[in-house]
Amino acid sequence: MQVNQSLSSKKHLFFFFLFFCAFSSTAQNRIDSIKSALALNKNEDKIPLLIELCWEYRYHHPDSARLFGYQALKLAQEKKAKNFEAEALHNLAVTYEAQADYQKSLSYNLEALKLRAKLNDEIKTANTLNNIGIAYDELGNFSLSLKYYNRAYQIYKQKKHTEGLAMVSTNLGILFKAHKDYKNVVKYYREANTIYKKLNMPREVAFTEANLGSVYYYTKQYDSCIYYSLKAQQTLKKLNIQQFLPTTYTNAGIGYVALGQTKKALEFLRTSIVLNNKYNNRKELAFAHIHLAKLMLKLKKLDEAAKSANKAASLAEAIGASKEVMDAKETLAIIFEKQGKFKDAYELHLASTKIKDSLFQKDKTALISDYQVRYQTEKKEQQIQFLHQQNTIQKLKIKQRNLGLVIAGGLLLLGILFTYLLINRRKLKAKAELQSEIIKQQDIASRAVLDAEERERRRIAGDLHDGVGQMLSAALMNLNGLFAKLNLRSDASLQAEQALALVNESYDEMRSISHQMMPNALIKSGLASAVKEFIGKLDKNKLKVTLETVGLNERLNEQTETVIYRVIQETVNNVIKHADASKLDIQITKDEEGIAVTIEDNGKGFDKSKIDLKAGIGLSNIYSRVEFLKGTVDIDSTEGRGTLVAIYLP
C-alpha cells in the first residue's frame, strides 16, 4: 500500500503551529492550550480554535475531531464567516479520509471547494483540489482523480509552492501505480523526495520512501522494497508518527513473502494488522489481510487463510473498496477450491470477475465520455468552419471579376513564400544536423579526454610503483644492510637513522600517491569495495563515515565506476579540508532508471548565494566528470546545517 498526502489550508490565527505534527507530548500541550483558550473566548472567537482542535485530532481521534469540526461549521454558518466555513468543511473531509470513508470525504471537499473558489484563495483551493483527487483515486475513478490533481499541480506550479508540488507529485505517483505505469510512478516519487529533502521535512521524506518501497514490490525489486520500507519505518518511529507505521510493515512483509522469508513475512504482516486495527485504517487492514491469506495459502494453512480472506472482503465491502473486494474474493475462491468446496469457489470467482469487469467498465465509460465530448466539439467546429466557407464563397462570386488579378498576384506571392519557406527549412535542417554532429563529436572528444586522463593516471601510478618504488625498495634494503655492517659513532649513527627514515617516508608517500591515482580495489573488486577501502583509511576519531549501497550486485562499466569513485574521493577530501564535520553519510543506489549518489555531512556548511560552485578546481572537476556521463549535480547547503551533494547518472 501507499501513503497519500494532503495539506492543511488554514492560517493559524491564535497560535503559530507547525503543520503535519505527530501526536506527542508537544502536540498534547498544544491541544491543552487550545482548550484553555476555548473556555475563555466568546462564540465568535471560538471558531478558529475549534478548527484547530479538529485538525489536531484528525488522525488519532477522528471522532473527536469531527465533534469539534461540526461545532466550528455550525458557528461559522451562523456568523456567515465563509472563510471559517470552508476551513471547517476541509478539515471534516480530512477526518473522513483518515478512516477511509472516501465518499463522505469527497462530499465535504466539494462543498469546501465551492466556497474557496468564491473566496479566491488559490493555494487553499489547490489544497482542496488535491484532497478531492485523493478521494476519487481511492474510489477508483482514475480520470476525475487525474483531473483534480492536475488542477492543483498547475496552481502550485504557478505560485511556486514547492511543498504543494511535492505533495501532488506523491499522489500522482500513487495514481499511476494503480494503472501499472511504474516509470511515471518512480519519477513522481523521486521528484517529491528531492523537494522534501531540500525543505528538510523528514516526515514527508519518510512518506515518499514508504511509497518507493511499495512501487519496488510491483517492479519485483524486492530488496529495494524492503530497504525503503524499513528506512521509512525507522524515521516514523523516531518522529513518533504511529498512524502510518502499518503501511511500512505491510510493504516490508510482502517483500519478505516474495523473497521466501516466511518467518519475517508473518511477523511484519501480523504487526501491520494489529496497528491497522488500532487506528481503524480499514482499507490498509483489508490489504494486509489479503496478503496474509495468500501467505497462509502458500503454507497450506487453509483455515487461517480463509479467515483472513473473509475478514478482508468484509472490511473492503464496508468502505466500498472495489479492488480489495475483488482480490479478497478471488483469494477466497482459490482457498475454497483447495478445500474441495467447488461450488463456493465457483460463485466467488464469478463475483470477483463481475467486480473486475465493473472496474474496467468504469474506466471505459469515462474514456468513451471523453471521446464523445471531443467528437461533439470537433463536429461543431467543423459546422462553424463550413458556414464561414459558404459565406466566403458567396463573397468571392460577387467580387470574382474584380479580384481576378488580385487572386493571381496572391497565388504568385504564395508561390514565392512557399519557395522561401522550403529553402529556409532545408537550411535549418542542415544547420540542425551540423549542430547535432558537433555535439556528437564534442561528446566523443570529452569521453576521449576522460579515458586519456584515466590511462595517464594508471601509467603514472604503474611507473611510480614499478620504477621509483622498486628503486626505493632496493635502496632501503642496501641502506639497512650497510648500516648493520658499519660501526658508526653516535652522531653519525643518528644522521644515518634520519636518512633511513626519510627514505622510508619517501617510499610510503610514493605508494600512497600511486594508490590514490589508481586504487587496486577499483580495478579488481569494483566501486563498492574501492569506496570502502578509501573511507577505511580515514581517521575515524575525527570523521565518522557511513556507507550504504543498494543495487550494486553487478559491476558497472569501467568509466562510470571511475567517475563515481573520483567524485566521492574529491567530495570527501573537500569535507575533510573545509567542512569541519564529525559525521559523513554516503549512499550509492542503483535501479533501472540510473545511479544516485548522495554525500551528506553535518559540517558548518556555506551560503550558496555567495559562492560560485563551479569556480573551484575540485568542484569544477566534479561537475565536468558528471556532465561527461550526461548526469546532474545538485549541491544544497546552509550555514551551520551541513552540506548535501546529490549526483544522478541516467
Cβ contact 225:217 at 8 Å: yes
Decide if 336 is inside a domain: no
How do strand 583-590 and strand 595-601 relate by DSSP bridges? antiparallel
- Statement: residue 8 has pLDDT above 50: no
The three-state (H, E, C) secondary structure of 472-514, written as one string? HHHHHHHHHHHHHHCCCCHHHHHHHHHHHHHHHHHHHHHHHHH
Cβ neighbours of residue 290 under 8 Å, at least 6 residues apart?
Answer: 308, 309, 312, 324, 327, 328, 331
Count of structural domains, the chain? 3
Q: Which of 166, 200, 234 is the last residue of a domain?
A: 200
Asked whether residue 400 is assigned to any structural domain, the reply reads no
What pLDDT is recorded for position 61? 80
State which of 169, 200, 231 marks the end of a domain: 200
Same domain, 26 and 107: yes
Report how far residue 298's alpha carbon sits from residue 411's, in angstroms, rounded to the nearest whole number. Answer: 78
pLDDT value at residue 368? 36
Looking at residues 301-307, what average pLDDT do you find?
90
Q: Are residues 38 and 155 in the same domain?
A: yes
Q: Tell me: do 73 and 189 sit in the same domain.
A: yes
Task: Report residue 565 as a C-alpha cell.
Answer: 569513485
The residue segments making up the domain with residue 461 are 412-517
Tell me the pLDDT band of 365, cut-offs 50, 70 and 90. very low
Q: What is the pLDDT of residues 180-214, one digit of tens each?
A: 788 888 888 888 888 888 889 898 888 888 888 88
CA angle 127, 27, 194 (to 5 degrees): 45
User: In terms of domains, do 102 and 195 share one?
Assistant: yes
Contact residues for 621 (Cβ-Cβ < 8 A; gap 6+): 566, 570
Strand-pairing partners, residue 648, are 596, 632
Look at 4-18, 386-400, 440-454 and tell me which has the smallest mean pLDDT: 4-18
The answer to whether residues 508 and 551 belong to one domain is no
Asked if 573 and 614 sit in the same domain, the reply is yes
Q: Give the per-residue pLDDT at 68.
A: 87
Give per-residue pLDDT as tens, 625-641: 788 778 888 888 888 88
Does residue 493 form part of some domain?
yes
Cα pseudo-dihedral 381, 383, 389, 391, rounded to 10: -120
Q: Is residue 483 part of a domain?
A: yes
pLDDT digits (tens, 9 = 90+) for 206-242: 888 888 888 888 888 999 999 999 999 999 889 888 8
Structure-block grid coordinates of residue 426: 532545408
**Interatomic CA distance for residues 620 and 488, integer angstroms:** 54
- The reply to whether 395 falls in a domain is no
The answer to whether residues 10 and 117 belong to one domain is yes
* 265 found inside a domain: no
- What is the predicted pLDDT for the residue at 260? 92
Q: Which of 517, 550, 580 is the last residue of a domain?
A: 517
Residue 535 shares a structural domain with residue 641: yes
- Residue 87 belongs to domain with CATH number: 1.25.40.10
Is 133 a member of any domain? yes
The region of weakest confidence among 27-41, 158-172, 409-423 is 27-41
Asked if 462 and 565 sit in the same domain, the reply is no
Provide the whole-model pTM. Answer: 0.45
As a whole number, the mean pLDDT across the chain is 78
Q: Say if residue 485 is in the same domain as residue 565.
A: no
72 and 123 housed in the same domain: yes
CATH number at residue 623: 3.30.565.10
Per-residue pLDDT, 234: 92
Asked if the structure places residue 107 within a domain, the reply is: yes
The DSSP 8-state label assigned to residue 614 in this structure reads T
Q: 504 and 435: one domain?
A: yes
